[in-house]
Structure 1
């Protein structure tokens, strides 16, 4: 234990601090003096060199948050099952874990679980039915090919992140009908699985970095969406029903293969961000002038030769990107407003 670590622990004991941050301190074992800090509610031990935790960790019963990310832990002590106040558990980048203990499913207050970049086989084989109180779950970069069965049992989930896995099956996703935020970015999905159709209260959906060539018609039924990220896919068209998603505030369509946009996009009157960068657009619909809440319009790196005069109606616009287009005229000659 370094002098600085000893000082931090002593200071926490003297002041009765509720938070102790020992992240990136090169710790190989947990200092026993921490055991006396029974008032701790947050303990950050991330990115040290810990291979094990002492059983007395379970005596820190006031803990609501513990971050064990980036250590060499093989197991978690069973005594941690007694941390009944624990709401946040971070285990990201713990690639040497040999098991996820069943007692974690019995933690009554656990609402946040971060398993970012943890072994996918370990996560997939976890034999629990679910985590009843869990509302936030991060499984980014775990090498998952299918949605683990236990995830479908976490029916209180509101936020689920599954970025950068290579998923091919999302069976059971539809059971998570309390989800408001879902991130499926970077999975190389060629289509959006029908299991997402039942997520009727979804507000934010990221499909960035997949291989989508078209969008399913049922996506129009997710009318609570406020954020939709479709960037870096292979979309050549945007369906007319996009105008039905009238709650949208952010629509990201950058780096696709779009050659046109439907007039119905003008029905998205709550839209504040529209990102169209790096497509093949030759024109913008004059209906964009109806988007009076729009603050950002990014349409650089397309094939635009002009823009509709209706863009002059966008009084809230603070960011307009049109660079790297073969612009020849201020206004589109096919724009009905300029005839």
Structure 2
């Protein structure tokens, strides 16, 4: 029988809260003896062999952090849509290629981790959420559609190591975007005048793209150097 442990983690107010951990135990089911722990704040089940979640988790209405990374999920567990207090959802290193509409029921969701899955595009249902941070590195994404501009709350976008050939111009329409990590793709140039429109952008990581404009030496000097280069090009 797989034993879990109850630990303490900090919530966003600095208070200590209960967290269940069943980490790297090769578990293929969530132990039924957890059923009574409905008041927990965190649930960490990463590094197992889970392919589904039990329906009784719908009663875990206080869970704000759910970690299901490094499992064997091929489909997004629908019961997560009933756990509507979740703020941080980690599902990296699974075999996901799509997300259900149920994701929109997670109205408090702020951080979504989908690294190392099988996505060929960013699921459009994400565009209807209020998340602040999206991590979707190491997938097979070739294109980011204009619909991403609907994500007015997004502050951090991480799409490193995909198959993007163009920098998504729609990012210039996202007023709160502060950090963009788009390394290890196939981008050759930035759209003209892009950075001038992204007034809140503090970090833009473009390393290991076949960039021609701006050139590599400019990119390596950071966002301020790129903004300066863009202005110089416009004045020529």
TM range (shorter): 0.7 to 0.9
Pick closer, same or farther for the CA change 1:139–1:180 going to 2, 3 Å: same
Q: CA shift at 1:270, angstroms?
A: 1.9
TM-score by length of 2: 0.80
1:240 and 1:262 in contact (8 A); partners too: yes
Please tell me whether residue 199 in structure 1 is matched to residue 106 in structure 2. Answer: yes
TM-score by length of 1: 0.58
User: What is the rounded CA distance, in whole Å, between the counterparts of 2:107 and 2:141 in structure 1?
Assistant: 24
Q: CA shift at 1:245, angstroms?
A: 1.2
Please tell me whether residue 89 in structure 1 is matched to residue 15 in structure 2. Answer: no
User: What is the rounded CA distance, in whole Å, between the counterparts of 1:236 and 1:74 in structure 2?
Assistant: 40
Q: Which runs of 4+ in 1 moved over 6 A?
A: 73-76
Match of 1:232 among 138, 148, 151: 138
Q: Which residue of 1 aligns with 2:148?
A: 242
Could you tell me which runs of 5 or more consecutive residues in structure 2 were left unpaired when the two chains were aligned: 8-15
2:74 and 2:97 in contact (8 A); partners too: no
When Rg is computed on C-alpha atoms for both structures, the one with the higher figure is: 1
Which of 1 and 2 has higher RCO (CA within 8 Å, sep 6+)? 2
Could you tell me which runs of 5 or more consecutive residues in structure 1 were left unpaired when the two chains were aligned: 1-72, 77-87, 91-108, 312-317, 323-329
1:146 and 1:171 in contact (8 A); partners too: no
Q: Which residue of 1 aligns with 2:203?
A: 296
Secondary structure of 2:20's counterpart equals: strand
Match of 2:160 among 254, 273, 285: 254
Equivalence map 1:62-141=2 (5 Å): 89-90=6-7, 111-121=18-28, 123-126=29-32, 129=35, 131-141=37-47
User: What is the rounded CA distance, in whole Å, between the counterparts of 1:217 and 1:164 in structure 2?
Assistant: 24
User: What is the rounded CA distance, in whole Å, between the counterparts of 2:230 and 2:224 in structure 1?
Assistant: 15
Deviations 1:191-239 (A, max 9, x none): 223332321221100111111001232211102x111001111000011
